[in-house]
């Protein structure tokens, strides 16, 4: 007998929404299976036709899809959205295609922030990691223009109210620099919009660079150029899953290096491959813009 799974779990796995939100969608009559409105508790198999708000959901082989996570080095100037009326470049432009489901960004970085951004094909993992009850500590490197006093640093960790919302850093440390431009390490686990920038702006200080360098124990590797990505191995995937009480994953798309650790030469070779891929992507974008301009002029 073909294996079945609860509807809300299938929809969550392929990235439609969190399991809880999918349960509510089923209760609200927004989900159908083979043309029949579903009810909570219904199950489906791979050959069933599932629709969400009338849209067919591609869930074929979803029961056997391995949880995957990408670490992407986001450049400044990219938006964390699939579509943009202004036509700005997106963090999704460079990601590898998926046969089933779609990539979901775990959290966001604003337009002028660069650094580590994680993606997964597992909707439940993404939604749990972004939920306030599971907020993970993130580290940022911040270059500040202005004089940061000891009193300011103390208030940043005690918390200040900005536009009716309490904002605070878990920790902030001086990280070098001379003159008016200085670097700081900022650690926080809450995810208010533009929280780091807003905190410094509150003290009339200007953030001239903002880079996310880690998400929990996942670091932004120096071998990943801006605009490049790597796929995390099974240990890192299971570390993230353990943070949000999800069962361990047993499969991975990352091929292990049999019988040996990666050498510096291996890492440099991998970095060079990623850089070439990023360069080819930029060239394709440029060629596309040139063709579009020529077409518009004719």
Compute the distance between CA of residue 297 and CA of residue 286 in angstroms, rounded to an integer: 17
Tell me how many helices (H) and strands (E) the chain has: 7, 17
DSSP designation for 17: S
Listed in order, strand segments (DSSP E) in the chain are 5-6, 31-33, 36-37, 43-44, 50-52, 55-56, 69-74, 104-106, 114-120, 138-145, 160-162, 165-167, 171-174, 181-188, 206-215, 218-219, 229-231
Active-site residue, 110 included? yes
Tokens of 197: 């920038």
H/E run at residue 241: helix 234-243
Q: Which of 53, 61, 110, 266 is catalytic?
A: 110
Residue holding tokens 């801006």? Answer: 226
Active site residues: 110
């Amino acid at each position: 007998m073909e294996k079945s799974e609860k509807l809300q779990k299938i929809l969550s796995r392929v990235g439609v929404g969190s399991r809880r939100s999918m349960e509510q969608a089923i209760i609200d009559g927004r989900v159908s299976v083979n043309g029949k409105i579903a009810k909570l508790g219904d199950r489906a198999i791979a050959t069933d036709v599932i629709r969400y708000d009338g849209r067919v959901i591609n869930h074929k082989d979803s029961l056997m899809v391995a949880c995957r996570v990408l670490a992407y080095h986001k450049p400044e100037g990219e938006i964390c959205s699939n579509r943009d009326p202004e036509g700005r470049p997106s963090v999704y432009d460079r990601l590898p295609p998926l046969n089933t489901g779609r990539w979901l960004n775990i959290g966001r970085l604003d337009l002028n922030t660069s650094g580590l951004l994680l993606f997964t094909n597992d909707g439940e993992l993404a939604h749990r990691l972004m939920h306030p009850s599971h907020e993970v500590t993130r580290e940022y490197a911040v270059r500040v223009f202005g004089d940061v006093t000891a009193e300011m640093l103390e208030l940043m960790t005690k918390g200040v109210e900005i536009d009716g919302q309490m904002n605070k850093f878990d920790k902030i440390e001086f990280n070098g620099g001379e003159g008016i431009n200085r670097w700081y390490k900022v650690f926080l686990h809450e995810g208010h919009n533009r929280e780091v920038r807003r905190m410094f702006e509150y003290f009339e200080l200007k953030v001239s660079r903002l880079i996310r360098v880690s998400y929990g124990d996942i670091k932004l590797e120096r071998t990943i150029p801006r605009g490049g990505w790597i796929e995390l191995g099974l240990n890192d995937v299971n570390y993230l899953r353990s943070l949000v009480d999800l069962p361990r994953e047993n499969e991975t798309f990352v091929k292990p290096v049999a019988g040996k650790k990666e050498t510096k030469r291996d890492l440099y070779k991998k970095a060079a491959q990623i850089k070439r891929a990023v360069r080819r992507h930029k060239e394709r974008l440029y060629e596309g813009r040139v063709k579009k301009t020529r077409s518009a002029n004719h």
